[in-house]
């Protein structure tokens, strides 16, 4: 079976947030106040009882897989702060039809948890890393340990979760001078570097207005040092991929792959293939939409697979043609600041 929305897009991917908690407070995601959780959510943490249980997430994925969902990504907050995540990984990997299960993490806990995750069947990881300078990394994340991220990258490589993808958000005056360094790092290590445009949230308005760098600026910075050639890796998804070769050394065999995600300046909505499930059971058809289908009660009350599939089909039917972050409005409303969930990488 194949899920097709009203605009002809094939929906085969669901991002599932397993928690709203995070062990870092990245400057573009968290305010400096206590009680904030993930991606600009400033109204306190979700209570334990309001978070979906692992068995409920597995039942949801079973229903979704029967409709044609093939890819699952686990996110947060920071998903690795939730205990025994490998048990959820194992449960999802046993579901017929799921072809890929990945994880987005800040890497702080990855080295110590990678073995049970890999044994449970995790296919690959995306690691958020916004600086290769340890002191700067600590400033951006407000206390993150750069060494732990590096250990997590090495552990993921050793566990065979390849290719490791590194998500970097360039910000003017913060880390934009490291764009080329990240490309070199990817060519040296084999990691895929994905440059993601800074997305506006309710807590980073000042940073966004002063520090936003568009995808074309990112590309020009890379092209000053490297030759890049467009590369088609997949039909759907937010990233444009490029093969990279050192322009200063045309005979060099060193090359790499980078991705650029133009979340703001060049809408990727026409290629969007995903839905998003929040930690408290709300199914969202669009990252920048206030449209949602409540699944929590259905899952907590042991709704049948058919009932869950009906709710999933509702979400697909409500998926908007595009977001409106460029014109300052929410999808589905006439005014208001965009709503943000954590994570945009694919």
* pLDDT interval class at 23 (50, 70, 90): very high
What CATH number did the domain enclosing 294 receive? 3.20.20.70
Whether residue 183 is contained in a domain is answered as yes
Whether residue 175 is contained in a domain is answered as yes
Mean pLDDT to the nearest integer, 321-333: 55
Residue 283: φ, ψ to 5°: -95, 120
Say if CB 127 and CB 110 are below 8 A apart.
yes
Query: Cα separation of 3 and 146, whole Å?
Result: 41
Whether residue 329 is contained in a domain is answered as no
Per-residue pLDDT, 206: 83
Mean pLDDT to the nearest integer, 203-210: 84
Whether residue 336 is contained in a domain is answered as no
Question: pLDDT digit string (tens) for 142-185?
Answer: 999 999 999 999 999 999 999 999 999 999 999 999 999 999 99
Question: pLDDT digit string (tens) for 100-138?
Answer: 999 999 999 999 999 999 999 999 999 999 999 999 999
Range of the domain at 46: 3-317
DSSP letters for 44-94: -PPPGGGSPPHHHHHHHHHHHHHHT--EEEEESS-GGGSTTHHHHHHHHHT
Domain count along the chain: 1
Query: Cα separation of 344 and 38, whole Å?
Result: 13
Say if CB 151 and CB 158 are below 8 A apart.
no
Kindly report the average pLDDT of the chain as a whole number: 87
Which has more pLDDT, 122 or 247? 122
* pLDDT interval class at 237 (50, 70, 90): low
Whether residue 346 is contained in a domain is answered as no
Per-residue pLDDT, 345: 43
Q: Token digits for 180? A: 């080329």
């Amino acid at each position: 079976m194949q899920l097709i929305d009203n605009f002809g897009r094939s929906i085969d991917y669901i991002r599932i947030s397993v928690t709203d908690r995070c062990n870092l407070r990245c400057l573009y995601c968290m305010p400096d106040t206590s009680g904030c959780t993930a991606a600009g959510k400033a109204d306190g943490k979700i209570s334990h009882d309001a978070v979906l249980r692992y068995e409920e997430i597995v039942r949801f994925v079973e229903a979704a897989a029967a409709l044609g969902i093939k890819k699952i990504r686990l996110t947060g907050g920071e998903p690795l702060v939730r205990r025994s995540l490998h048990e959820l990984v194992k449960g999802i990997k046993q579901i017929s039809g799921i072809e890929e299960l990945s994880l987005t993490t800040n890497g702080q806990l990855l080295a110590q948890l990678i073995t049970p995750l890999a044994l449970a069947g995790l296919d690959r990881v995306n690691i958020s890393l916004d600086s290769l300078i340890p002191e700067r990394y600590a400033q951006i994340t407000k206390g993150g340990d750069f060494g732990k991220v590096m250990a997590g990258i090495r552990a993921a490589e050793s566990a065979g979760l390849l290719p490791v993808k590194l998500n970097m958000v360039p910000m003017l005056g913060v880390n934009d001078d490291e764009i080329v360094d990240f490309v070199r790092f990817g060519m040296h290590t084999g990691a895929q570097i994905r440059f993601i445009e800074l997305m506006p949230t309710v807590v980073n308005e000042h940073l966004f207005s002063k520090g936003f760098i568009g995808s074309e600026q990112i590309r020009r910075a890379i092209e000053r040092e490297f030759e890049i050639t467009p590369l088609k890796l997949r039909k759907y998804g937010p990233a444009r991929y490029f093969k990279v070769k050192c322009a200063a050394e045309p005979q060099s065999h060193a090359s790499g792959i980078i991705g650029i995600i133009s979340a703001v300046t060049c809408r990727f909505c026409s290629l969007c293939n995903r839905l998003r499930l929040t930690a408290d059971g709300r199914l969202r058809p669009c990252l920048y939409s206030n449209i949602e289908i409540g699944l929590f009660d259905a899952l907590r009350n042991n709704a049948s697979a058919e009932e869950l599939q009906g709710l999933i089909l509702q979400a697909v039917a409500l998926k908007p043609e595009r977001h409106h972050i460029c014109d300052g409005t929410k999808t589905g409303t006439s005014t208001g600041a965009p709503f943000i969930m954590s994570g945009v990488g694919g």
